[in-house]
Structure 1
Amino acid sequence: MILLRRVIGDALRARRLRQQRTLREVSTAANVSLGYLSEIERGHKEASSELLAAICDALGAQLSDVLREASDTLALAEQVNQVLTPTPDGGLTDGDVTVQVHREGPLKTTLRATRNGRPTPPAPRQPEPLGV
């Protein structure tokens, strides 16, 4: 089950990291303790709407944009849950392909897929177009 507080926390942390800002900078600007902001980002605490608005303001983001991003993530998770069923080892399967998800943080997730018990080869990388 996906938790809304975790999805919102991931969205806030990703925005902060894209701006290359520290927890201390954002917590000071939002007038929230550093530890509490960290717990919100990790999805351990659920922030009030007033606190979310203050954090978004400190990040220069619209609250509606953060909530829209969270909504899109939840919608995608619901679609996946309708197609895939959980496996005993924590993965998901559609009966033929099993996917293991390993989250290493808000910006790094590893997926490992197996088909009929054999690992599927990684997709070939497409060359990136050269800038003109």
Structure 2
Amino acid sequence: MVLFRRVLGDVLRSQRMQRGMTLREVSAEARVSLGYISEIERGHKEASSELLASLCGAMDVALSDVIREVSDLIVLEEAALAPVALPVARPATVASAA
């Protein structure tokens, strides 16, 4: 099962690190506790839409870009978890003798 909050946390952490920002910097800019941001990045807490918008604003990243990246990663994870149908070999038929 794919957990949205885990994928979202991974994307937020990746975005923060790409920008060279610390949790402390994002916390101060977004006015959200450092501990809570850490819990979100680890996928332990759900982010409300308002909180997510605040985090994106603090990192100067478009909310739509974060949601798009999360969506793309979920598609990949769902595909990886989907059952794969394996081909079944049919036994060779023996030609009947005339």
Is TM more than 0.5 here?
yes
Summarize the alignment of residues 1-132 of structure 1 with structure 2, pairs less than 5 Å apart: 1-83=1-83
Gaps in structure 2 of 5+ consecutive residues: 87-98
| Structure having the higher Rg | 2
**Counterpart residue identity of residue 77, structure 1:** E
Secondary structure of the residue aligned to 1:40 is: helix
**Counterpart residue identity of residue 39, structure 2:** E
Secondary structure of the residue aligned to 1:57 is: helix
Query: How much identity, in percent, do the aligned residues show?
Result: 59
Q: Larger strand proportion, structure 1 or 2? A: 1
CA distance in 2, matches of 1:83, 1:19: 37
TM-score, scaled relative to structure 2:
0.82
Deviation at 1:83, TM superposition (A): 4.2
> What is the alpha-carbon root mean square deviation over aligned residues?
1.2
The one of the two structures with greater contact order (alpha-carbon pairs below 8 A, sep at least 6) is 2
CA distance in 2, matches of 1:43, 1:81: 19
CA distance in 1, matches of 2:83, 2:14: 27
TM-score, scaled relative to structure 1:
0.62
Deviation at 1:19, TM superposition (A): 1.1
Which structure 1 residue ranges, 4+ long, deviate > 3 Å from structure 2? none
